[in-house]
């Protein structure tokens, strides 16, 4: 195999299975590699980009926002976290902003995602999971993504954001369409509708605040660069809503779905977990390491910097491949083994630490633990029962990978 064989812009390379052979090669031969521009990929804007594939380099870059910006770099009109440049959303929400503004935005909502706040949602999440399983248990089969894996995170997010029950269906449709590549107009319309809805709901929460995070965000004042307290503007409010609604659902659904496929391939691990539920937290971390639902995030170099003898120039795009760092042989013993007792397991699924470390990490872990706990209480002998449909994101250039459909069959434990 040669470097020329590798093309990380190709959609079919992702969407569930990672091109592990490429990353293994890169980690060994070219851990900091300049991916050349790709002619038939207009989303890249004719530019190449750096690929970091080693755990330590990803972590260091994640922790150095001054050098590796999530907003933009010199000479660029717009960077952001995807390999394609975006202009509009830059600086409008925490994930596409650098400290100190990013920290100020994050402080507004931090408390809503603390371990304590997440514990308060456990009861709701468990009841919801049981109810969804009740809906298909007697059939002995289901389509896992739509009937459980997508549904639980979406409903929990809606609860956190204070979306009234009557509006949830349409918000879910928009979040799905926003990431769906099949129709460009549909995708744009979904964004427009979601932003309009978020502004309206935001106004309502300002007028009649309720006990949810969104009410808190619209009312809060954060100091600007001069220390003057200001509120988020209408666009920033809508952008926050969209970030939480999509970021909090797409990722967790792919961890749950990919996790079940891993268990189907490793039935001994499933039985181990069934007989010892104290392993749930460790198993969840292994599911996250194994599935790495956010393949990469991109940064832009703000200055010339040398990493592993390679000179990265100010303004260059730098991509940090969590999915590769999570298979790094120098950090994880036997990285291609799915091992629910793995310890330590300091994976990069939520990023490598630093300012942007996933805000929803505690929440996602809680959801995954509960979904598996409840499935194991009532279901056994899982098998794939139809065609698995992958999920690709060409607009996002492979940021997310995962599943659109996973039909499964199982035996209920009372059988």
Binding site for ligand HEM (CB under 6 A): 62, 94-95, 102, 106, 157, 243-244, 247-248, 251-252, 255, 288, 293-294, 297, 322, 349-351, 354, 356-360, 363-364
- In angstroms, the CA 380 to CA 172 distance is 30
- In angstroms, the CA 25 to CA 189 distance is 41
Whole-number Cα distances in Å, 95 to 236, 278, 311, 356:
12, 34, 26, 7
Select 66 or 208, whichever has its Cβ closest to ligand HEM.
Answer: 66
- In angstroms, the CA 68 to CA 314 distance is 9
Shortest gap between Cβ of 356 and ligand HEM (angstroms)? 4
- In angstroms, the CA 319 to CA 49 distance is 7
- Residue 92 in tokens: 């409008």
Beta-carbon count within 10 A of 190 CB: 22
Shortest gap between Cβ of 96 and ligand HEM (angstroms)? 8
Select 27 or 289, whichever has its Cβ closest to ligand HEM.
Answer: 289
Select 4 or 225, whichever has its Cβ closest to ligand HEM.
Answer: 225
Q: Give the rounded distance of the alpha carbon of 286 from its chain centre.
A: 16
Select 31 or 401, whichever has its Cβ closest to ligand HEM.
Answer: 401
Shortest gap between Cβ of 65 and ligand HEM (angstroms)? 9
Select 9 or 65, whichever has its Cβ closest to ligand HEM.
Answer: 65
Select 280 or 363, whichever has its Cβ closest to ligand HEM.
Answer: 363
Shortest gap between Cβ of 290 and ligand HEM (angstroms)? 11
Shortest gap between Cβ of 358 and ligand HEM (angstroms)? 3
Shortest gap between Cβ of 60 and ligand HEM (angstroms)? 12
Select 349 or 379, whichever has its Cβ closest to ligand HEM.
Answer: 349
- Residue 297 in tokens: 């995030």
Assess contact for 125 and 386: CB atoms under 8 A.
Answer: no
**What letters, b where the CB count within 10 A reaches 16 and e where it falls short, cover 231-243?**
ebeeebbbbbbbb
- Please give the span between the terminal C-alpha atoms of the chain, in angstroms, as a whole number: 50
Shortest gap between Cβ of 275 and ligand HEM (angstroms)? 25
- φ, ψ dihedrals at 143, nearest 5°: -100, 105
Assess contact for 62 and 91: CB atoms under 8 A.
Answer: no
Strand 317-321 to 49-52 pairing: parallel
Assess contact for 372 and 283: CB atoms under 8 A.
Answer: yes
Select 25 or 290, whichever has its Cβ closest to ligand HEM.
Answer: 290
Assess contact for 253 and 153: CB atoms under 8 A.
Answer: yes
Strand 32-35 to 49-52 pairing: antiparallel
* Cα-based torsion angle of the residue sequence 80, 85, 87, 88 in order, rounded to the nearest 10 degrees: -70
Residue written as token pair 């659904």: 253
Residue written as token pair 């050098």: 67
Shortest gap between Cβ of 104 and ligand HEM (angstroms)? 11
Shortest gap between Cβ of 131 and ligand HEM (angstroms)? 20
Select 1 or 124, whichever has its Cβ closest to ligand HEM.
Answer: 124
């Amino acid at each position: 195999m040669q470097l020329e064989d590798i093309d990380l812009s190709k959609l079919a390379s992702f969407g569930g299975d990672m091109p592990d052979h490429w990353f293994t090669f890169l980690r060994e031969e070219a851990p900091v590699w300049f991916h050349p521009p790709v002619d038939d990929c207009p989303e890249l804007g004719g530019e190449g980009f750096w690929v970091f594939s080693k755990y330590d380099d990803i972590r260091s870059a994640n922790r150095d926002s001054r050098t590796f910006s999530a907003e933009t770099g010199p000479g660029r009109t717009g960077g952001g976290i995807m390999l394609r440049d975006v202009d509009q959303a830059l600086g409008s929400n925490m994930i596409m902003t650098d400290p100190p503004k990013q920290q100020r935005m994050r402080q507004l909502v931090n408390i809503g995602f603390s371990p304590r706040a997440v514990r308060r949602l456990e009861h709701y999440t468990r009841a919801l999971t049981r109810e969804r399983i009740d809906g298909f248990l007697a059939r002995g089969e289901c389509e896992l993504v739509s009937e459980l894996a997508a549904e639980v995170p979406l409903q929990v997010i809606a609860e956190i954001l204070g979306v009234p029950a009557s509006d949830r269906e349409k918000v879910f449709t928009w979040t799905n369409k926003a990431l769906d590549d099949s129709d460009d107009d549909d995708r744009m319309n979904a964004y427009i509708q979601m932003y309009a809805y978020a502004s309206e709901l935001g106004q309502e929460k300002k007028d009649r605040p309720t006990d949810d995070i969104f009410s808190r965000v619209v009312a809060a004042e954060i100091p600007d660069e001069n220390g003057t307290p200001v509120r988020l503007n209408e666009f920033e409010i809508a952008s926050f809503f969209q970030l939480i609604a999509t970021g909090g659902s797409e990722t967790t659904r792919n961890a749950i779905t990919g996790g079940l496929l891993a268990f189907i391939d490793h039935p001994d691990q499933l039985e181990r977990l069934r007989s010892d539920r104290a392993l749930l937290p460790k198993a969840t971390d292994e599911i996250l390491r194994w599935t790495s639902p956010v393949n990469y995030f991109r940064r832009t170099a703000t200055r010339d910097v040398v990493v592993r003898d390679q000179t990265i120039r100010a303004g260059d795009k730098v991509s940090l491949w969590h999915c590769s760092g999570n298979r790094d042989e120098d950090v994880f013993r036997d990285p291609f083994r799915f091992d629910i007792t793995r310890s330590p397991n300091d994976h990069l699924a939520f990023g490598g630490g630093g300012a942007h470390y996933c805000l929803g990490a505690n929440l996602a872990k809680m959801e995954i633990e509960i979904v598996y706990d409840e499935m194991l209480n009532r279901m056994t002998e899982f098998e794939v029962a139809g065609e698995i449909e992958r999920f690709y994101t060409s607009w996002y250039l492979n940021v997310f990978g995962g599943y659109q459909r996973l039909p499964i069959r199982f035996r209920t434990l009372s059988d």
